[in-house]
């Protein structure tokens, strides 16, 4: 623990800390461009210069200098001031002064720091500025490379975090240019994070180009629902429209990254919206009023023959409100696993990501069964890459996909779980923190029991470590399971119960052909498969348009806030269900959102506490359990996995250009 003095203030810093970190610990702000906490140190912008004694009598780049015992660091001397001014002047030699037309304006590090640490003017005014051609980086990243200050954060991000070497710095010196190889589009699932990383306006968001200024946006804390990771996001809205989604820092969940889908599907919130009530009359959907719809549902006289299926994007409150309604009617026909999975949910710990995302980084042997992690949870994939960098071995059961780290594929048949090759079992026997990650495709093949047996066999649970993980794909899944949205036989049980009325809470992946003759009431926000199959459509709110509780695949309870109002006649889901209860003549016991939440917390106390829910201990595995079958991943197209993304023009473009671009080119030839 070295002791250093920063501006006369003596502090102790952790071993291995840099001078910059020491200054931050002392509460001093150090300007920087290239340095980033989550990336390797480059030391090429020179903005973080400070004076350090002992050492050479010149300013030192604090980001790349280890803090050593007895160092005397000054950040407030004239030398440091002139050094910063000098560096800033150099950076601005070639930087265009186009802030008024730059999308980074208002949230630009260069802008802020030139105000705080720069000179009033430049001595290079008479020289021509360098101009650099724009580079193609795909449909998400817009480049104005003349603005680039060569910090190389984007290069380091794609190499280190994303694990896809796509972006590089060509040429040298003043001519250095950041580009992708042959200007191909950046294709990985985290590519748009370089936009946040770029300290200037060189890489900006293409779909958001010239849309809004940061200071005119209302910022709302929300949770990403595009996958089961539950990334913490901030929805920036103007008026009634969500303009963009940005990641928030949460080291336990998403660090400070966000998958491209979570970031860019928000434009789907303004397309294909359900904004009025529809009732099917003689085979054709016709516009109707709320009253007519409620009367039509009441006329079906469901009694206790009413069922509910929850979609992938709904919040816990909606599911609880539906559960309360069904409970009042005397029904427990609830299901959330839309594709018909029927794994055992008697123990919640057996269906959660117990290692936690931060914990999986420390695993040293990981077996992935039936999960295309890159597509099902791109942020978890970044964690796995970190684990591999720390020396973890990764094995995958399932069809091959392009990993961003060395991994061994063990075949496509889930049966391999019972008879692992020797090198795999040796790796797990020797591992201190072994882990298994079970994907949805594996659960569908009944791999849960064999996986639990695997956990027993290799001691996946030991003191302070639980290596048994299930990686879900739907944001609503864990919350749904906690609220009892599961039948022993899955959705087939619901169909077999032959309900009179089926409430579909934004369920768009269900095969509705099993519910012929049932009055299907779709309560959702997007006109997708569910709406086309429905008999009555009640327009509801999307995740951006209501407060809600979400539980991610770790069992982490998180709250999202309402950013904007739902369009047209659409209402928040719980109000619809509350009104429906009146129409059906039952009492659900809540009249306000606070009442509803109170009732929900009383019923499932774990939901009342933000953070990891205590899901109990893992059940004993049955050593004889077996599963077999060839794994097929459920996600066929990363960019189009939910109704919002399917409605989004940006996601459609990404799908067409990034995933099917080669097909298109071939078709053109």
Partner 1 sequence: MSVLGKIFTWWDGATIGTLLNSWRTGEQVGTDAQGNRYFRARKTPAGTNERRWVLYAGANDASRVPPEWHGWLHGHFVDVPESLLPPAKIWEVEYTPNATGTLGAYRPQGALERGGRRAGASGDYESWTPDS
Partner 2 sequence: MANRHTAPDTPELRARWGSFVFTEANIAKADKFIASYPEGRQKSAVMPLLDLAQRQVGEETDTQGWLPMPVIEYVAAYLDMPVIRVLEVATFYFMYNLVPVGKFHVQVCGTTPCMLRGSDELIAACKGRGMEKGKVSADGLWTLTEVECMGNCATAPMVQINDGNYEDLTVERLDAVLDALAAGGTPEEGTQEPGRHTSEPSGGPTTLKEMVTENHDYRGEW
- Residue from 172, 284, 419, 624 binding partner 1 (CB under 8 A): 284
Spatial CA neighbour of 647 closest among 341, 165, 267: 267
- Minimum CB distance to partner 1 smaller for 4 or for 243: 243
Name which of partner 1, partner 2, none residue 532 binds, using a CB cut-off of 5 to 8 Å depending on partner kind. Answer: partner 1
How far apart are the C-alpha atoms of 467 and 366, rounded to whole Å?
9
Residue 531 near partner 2 by CB under 8 A: no
Residue 662 near partner 2 by CB under 8 A: no
The two three-digit tokens of residue 228, written as one number = 């089961």
Spatial CA neighbour of 563 closest among 225, 239, 311, 231: 239
Long-range pairs for 215-221 at CB < 8 Å and ≥24 separation? 215/106, 217/243, 217/244, 218/563, 220/544, 220/561, 220/562, 220/563, 221/248, 221/560, 221/561
- Residue from 6, 162, 195, 274 binding partner 1 (CB under 8 A): 274
Q: Do residues 202 and 148 lie in contact, with contact meaning Cβ atoms separated by under 8 Å?
A: yes
Give, as ranges, the residues between 285 and 344 that touch partner 1 (CB under 8 A): 285
Give the single-character DSSP code of 384. H
The two three-digit tokens of residue 604, written as one number = 């499932």
Name which of partner 1, partner 2, none residue 175 binds, using a CB cut-off of 5 to 8 Å depending on partner kind. Answer: partner 2
How far apart are the C-alpha atoms of 476 and 524, rounded to whole Å?
14
Judged by CB under 8 A, the number of residues near partner 2 is 14
| Smallest gap from residue 367 Cβ to partner 2 (A) | 24
Q: Spell out a b/e string for 261-272, using b for 16 or more CB atoms within 10 Å of the CB, else e.
A: bbbbbbbbbeeb
Residue written as tokens 């420390």?
Answer: 362
| Smallest gap from residue 263 Cβ to partner 1 (A) | 18
Residue 456 near partner 1 by CB under 8 A: no
Residue 134 near partner 2 by CB under 8 A: no
- Can you point out the beta strands (E) in 282-399? 284-288, 306-310, 333-335, 365-369, 393-397
Name which of partner 2, partner 1, none residue 239 binds, using a CB cut-off of 5 to 8 Å depending on partner kind. Answer: partner 1
Which 3 state secondary structure label does DSSP give 558?
strand
| Smallest gap from residue 326 Cβ to partner 1 (A) | 27
Spatial CA neighbour of 538 closest among 582, 571, 500, 578: 571
Per-residue binding letters, 177-196, with partner 2 (x by CB under 8 A): ---xxx--------------
Residue written as tokens 């009253």?
Answer: 291
- Residue from 119, 276, 529, 626 binding partner 1 (CB under 8 A): 276
| Smallest gap from residue 568 Cβ to partner 1 (A) | 6
- Minimum CB distance to partner 2 smaller for 253 or for 388: 388
Residue 239 near partner 1 by CB under 8 A: yes
Residue 406 near partner 2 by CB under 8 A: no
Name which of partner 1, partner 2, none residue 112 binds, using a CB cut-off of 5 to 8 Å depending on partner kind. Answer: none
Spatial CA neighbour of 42 closest among 125, 138, 154: 154
| Smallest gap from residue 258 Cβ to partner 2 (A) | 24
Task: For 196, list phi and psi in degrees, rounded to 5.
Answer: -65, -35
- Residue from 398, 450, 467, 567 binding partner 1 (CB under 8 A): 567
Name which of partner 1, partner 2, none residue 171 binds, using a CB cut-off of 5 to 8 Å depending on partner kind. Answer: partner 2
CA atoms lying within 13 Å on the CB side of residue 158: 24
- Minimum CB distance to partner 2 smaller for 165 or for 426: 165
Residue 529 near partner 1 by CB under 8 A: no
Residue written as tokens 């012929």?
Answer: 516
| Smallest gap from residue 573 Cβ to partner 1 (A) | 17
- 571 forms bridges with which residues in the sheet? 540
Helix or strand (DSSP H, E) at 351: none
Per-residue binding letters, 193-222, with partner 1 (x by CB under 8 A): -------------------x----------
| Smallest gap from residue 238 Cβ to partner 1 (A) | 5
Spatial CA neighbour of 548 closest among 538, 559, 532, 556: 559
CA distances from 197 to 358, 372, 600 (A): 21, 26, 39
Residue 278 near partner 1 by CB under 8 A: yes
Give, as ranges, the residues between 219 and 238 that touch partner 1 (CB under 8 A): 238
Give, as ranges, the residues between 531 and 560 that touch partner 1 (CB under 8 A): 531-532
Spatial CA neighbour of 256 closest among 224, 225, 214: 224
Per-residue binding letters, 154-173, with partner 2 (x by CB under 8 A): -----------xxxxxxxxx
- Residues forming contacts to partner 2 in the complex (CB under 8 A) are 165-175, 180-182
- Residues forming contacts to partner 1 in the complex (CB under 8 A) are 212, 238-241, 243, 269-276, 278, 284-285, 526-527, 531-532, 567-568
């Amino acid at each position: 623990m070295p002791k250093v003095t920063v501006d006369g203030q003596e502090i102790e810093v952790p071993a291995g800390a840099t001078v910059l970190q020491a200054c931050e610990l002392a509460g001093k702000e150090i300007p920087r461009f290239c340095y980033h906490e989550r990336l390797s140190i480059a030391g090429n912008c020179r903005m973080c210069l400070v004076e350090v004694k002992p050492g050479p009598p010149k300013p030192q780049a604090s980001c790349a200098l280890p803090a050593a015992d007895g160092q005397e660091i000054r950040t407030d001397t004239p030398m440091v001031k002139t050094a910063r001014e000098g560096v800033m002047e150099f950076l601005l030699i070639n930087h265009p002064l186009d802030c008024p037309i730059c999308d980074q304006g208002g949230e630009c590090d260069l802008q802020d720091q030139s105000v705080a640490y720069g000179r009033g003017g430049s001595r290079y005014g008479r020289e021509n500025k360098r101009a650099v051609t724009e580079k193609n980086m795909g449909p998400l990243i817009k480049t104005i490379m003349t603005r680039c200050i060569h910090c190389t954060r984007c290069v380091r991000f794609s190499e280190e975090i994303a694990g896809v070497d796509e972006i590089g710095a060509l040429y040298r010196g003043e001519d250095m240019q950041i580009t992708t190889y042959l200007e191909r589009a950046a294709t990985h699932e985290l590519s748009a994070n370089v936009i946040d990383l770029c300290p200037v306006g060189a890489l900006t968001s293409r779909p958001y180009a010239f849309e809004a200024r940061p200071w005119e946006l209302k910022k709302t804390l929300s949770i990403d629902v595009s996958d089961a990771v539950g990334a913490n996001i901030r929805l920036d809205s103007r008026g009634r429209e969500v303009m963009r989604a940005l990641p928030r820092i949460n080291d336990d969940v998403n660090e400070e990254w966000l998958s491209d889908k979570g970031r860019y599907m928000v434009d789907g919130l303004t397309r294909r919206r359900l904004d009025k009530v529809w009732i099917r009359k003689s085979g054709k959907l016709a516009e109707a009023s709320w009253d007519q719809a409620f009367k039509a549902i009441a006329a079906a006289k469901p009694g206790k023959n009413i069922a509910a299926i929850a979609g992938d994007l709904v919040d816990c409150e909606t599911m609880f409100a539906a559960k309360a309604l069904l409970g009042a009617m005397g029904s427990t026909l609830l299901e959330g696993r839309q594709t018909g999975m029927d794994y055992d949910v008697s123990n919640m710990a057996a269906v959660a990501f117990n290692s936690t995302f931060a914990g999986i980084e420390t695993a040293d042997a990981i077996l992935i069964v039936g999960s295309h992690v890159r597509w099902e949870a791109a942020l978890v994939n970044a964690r796995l890459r970190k684990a591999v960098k720390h020396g973890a071995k990764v094995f995958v059961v399932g069809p091959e996909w392009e990993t961003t780290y060395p991994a061994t594929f063990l075949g496509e048949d889930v049966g391999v779980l019972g008879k692992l090759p020797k090198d795999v079992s040796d790796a797990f026997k020797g591992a201190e923190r072994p882990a298994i990650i079970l994907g949805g495709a594996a659960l569908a093949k009944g791999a849960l029991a064999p996986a639990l047996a695997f956990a027993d066999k290799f001691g996946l649970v030991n003191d302070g470590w639980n290596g048994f993980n299930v990686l879900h794909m739907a944001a609503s899944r864990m919350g749904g399971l906690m609220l009892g949205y599961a039948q022993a036989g899955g959705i087939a049980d619901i169909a077999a119960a032959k309900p009179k009325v089926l409430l579909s809470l934004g369920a768009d992946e269900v095969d509705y052909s099993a519910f012929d003759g049932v009055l299907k009431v779709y309560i959702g926000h997007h006109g997708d498969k569910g709406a086309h199959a429905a008999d009555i459509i009640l327009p509801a709110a999307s995740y951006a348009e209501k407060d809600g509780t979400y539980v991610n695949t770790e069992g982490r309870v998180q709250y999202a806030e309402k950013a904007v109002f739902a369009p047209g006649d659409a209402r928040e889901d719980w109000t619809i269900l509350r009104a429906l209860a009146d129409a059906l003549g039952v009492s659900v016991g809540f009249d306000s959102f606070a009442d509803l939440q109170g009732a929900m917390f009383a019923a499932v106390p774990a939901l009342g506490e933000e953070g990891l829910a205590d899901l109990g201990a893992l059940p004993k595995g049955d050593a004889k359990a077996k599963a077999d079958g060839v794994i097929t991943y459920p996600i066929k197209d990363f960019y189009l996995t939910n109704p919002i993304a399917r409605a989004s023009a940006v996601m459609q473009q990404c799908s067409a250009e990034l995933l099917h671009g080669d097909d298109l080119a071939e078709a053109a030839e």
